[in-house]
């Protein structure tokens, strides 16, 4: 079975069994081994991913560098490789050569890619996401799209969190979500329902993230409307009870970036080994919080 069959089958099974697949962002290349080691030790299926912001703002270097380090140090019985956030318009509101980046991921052999058209209007987002789905599916690669807007990456100051949550600012529209999935045939959908991204620029990137909440009812409605795995971005800093309810409501993939990046950056002040151990320990704790130790036994029974 090729990896495309494996990842789409595992995501489908995880969706059905309400088990979450954690996806860890690589902000620095030496994070890949401790992420993989933590997953292997806990016998948990997970995704290792890199986004354009990880490359531009931190030490992930390049899509190719992540691929090469992944091939060298990850245990692929437990991990998949995903290209996260290829934005069409970036966090500085500048256009990106998204097609070149997607094609690079496909050519290298990533298992899945994400096209982020969330700064476009609905029709443009549909058009570009569909283009990416077409070329990716031809190459047996799964695609994650994004509808709605998850605040936090942009260089401008976002509205206060309470206002975002109360007024559902950027929340994914239920009817649009159904239409988006039908028109694009995207495999997984990143939605906005209360989470926020960790800051990636300025001094804010070193601050502890604020405690975000999730609108569980909204997630349930999105699941009913789309019937595909939903993805939660900005997973760091959400209360565990919300995460557990979110998984039951329809979240199948959850992205963790800020928490492990900050563990690494803090650890590196002591030593390289301390930094890598901090990443590993942080992930093991998250695996227990999300109740997914030994998920390999359910998701890959044979």
CB of 25 to Zn ion, least distance (A): 8
Is residue 233 a contact point for Zn ion (CB under 5 A)? yes
Q: Which is nearer to Zn ion, 33 or 233 (CB)?
A: 233
Catalytic residue among 37, 54, 84, 111: 84
The answer to whether residue 33 forms part of the interface with Zn ion (CB under 5 A) is no
- Binding to Zn ion in span 76-135, by CB under 5 A: none
Residue 84 among the catalytic residues: yes
In whole angstroms, what is the distance from residue 202 CA to residue 168 CA?
Answer: 26
Q: Name 253's bridge partners.
A: 21, 231
Please name which of 80, 24, 81 lies closest in space to residue 284, comparing C-alpha atoms.
24
When asked if residue 221 is in the footprint of Zn ion (CB under 5 A), the reply is no
| Minimum CB–partner distance for residue 210 and Zn ion (Å) | 16
- Taking the mean position of all CA atoms in its chain, how far away is CA 293? 19
Q: Which stretch binds Zn ion (CB under 5 A): 38-46, 67-75, 90-98, 226-234?
A: 226-234
| 48, 22 contact by CB (below 8 A) | no
90 vs 276 by CB, closer to Zn ion:
90
Shortest Å, Cβ 197 to Zn ion: 5
Taking the complex as a whole, how short is the minimal distance between the CB of residue 52 and Zn ion, in angstroms? 10
Contacts 24+ apart (CB under 8 A), 14-19: 14/45, 14/229, 14/252, 14/295, 14/299, 15/228, 15/229, 15/250, 15/252, 17/298, 17/299, 18/247, 18/248, 19/247, 19/252, 19/292, 19/295, 19/298, 19/299
Residue placing its CB nearer to Zn ion in the complex, 79 or 195: 195
Q: Provide the binding-site residues for Zn ion, judged by CB under 5 A.
A: 233
Q: Would you name the residues annotated as active-site residues?
A: 84
């Amino acid at each position: 079975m090729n990896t495309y069959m494996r990842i789409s089958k595992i995501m489908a099974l995880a969706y059905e069994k309400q088990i979450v697949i954690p996806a860890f962002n690589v902000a620095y290349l030496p994070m890949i081994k401790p992420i993989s080691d933590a997953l292997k030790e806990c016998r948990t299926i997970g995704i290792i991913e890199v986004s354009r912001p990880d490359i531009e703002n931190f030490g992930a270097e390049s899509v190719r560098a992540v691929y090469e380090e992944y091939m060298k140090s990850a245990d692929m019985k437990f991990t998949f490789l995903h290209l996260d956030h290829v934005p069409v318009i970036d966090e500085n509101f500048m256009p990106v050569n998204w097609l070149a980046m997607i094609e690079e991921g496909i050519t290298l052999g990533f298992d899945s890619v994400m096209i982020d058209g969330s700064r476009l209007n609905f029709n443009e987002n549909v058009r570009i996401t569909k283009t990416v789905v077409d070329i990716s599916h031809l190459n047996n690669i799964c695609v994650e799209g994004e509808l709605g807007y998850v605040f936090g990456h942009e260089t401008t100051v976002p509205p206060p969190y309470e206002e975002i949550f109360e007024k559902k600012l950027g929340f994914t529209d239920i009817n649009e979500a159904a239409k988006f999935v039908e028109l694009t045939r995207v495999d997984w959908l990143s939605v906005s329902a209360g989470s926020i991204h960790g800051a990636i620029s300025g001094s804010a990137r070193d601050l502890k993230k604020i405690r975000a909440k999730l609108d569980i009812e909204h997630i349930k409605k999105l699941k009913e409307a789309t019937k595909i795995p939903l993805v939660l971005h900005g997973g760091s800093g959400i209360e565990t009870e919300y995460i557990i309810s979110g998984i039951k409501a329809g979240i199948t993939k959850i992205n963790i970036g800020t928490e492990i990046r900050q563990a690494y950056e803090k650890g590196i002040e002591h030593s390289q080994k301390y930094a890598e151990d901090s990443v590993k320990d942080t992930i093991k704790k998250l695996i227990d919080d999300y109740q997914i130790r030994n998920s390999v036994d359910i998701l890959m029974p044979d």
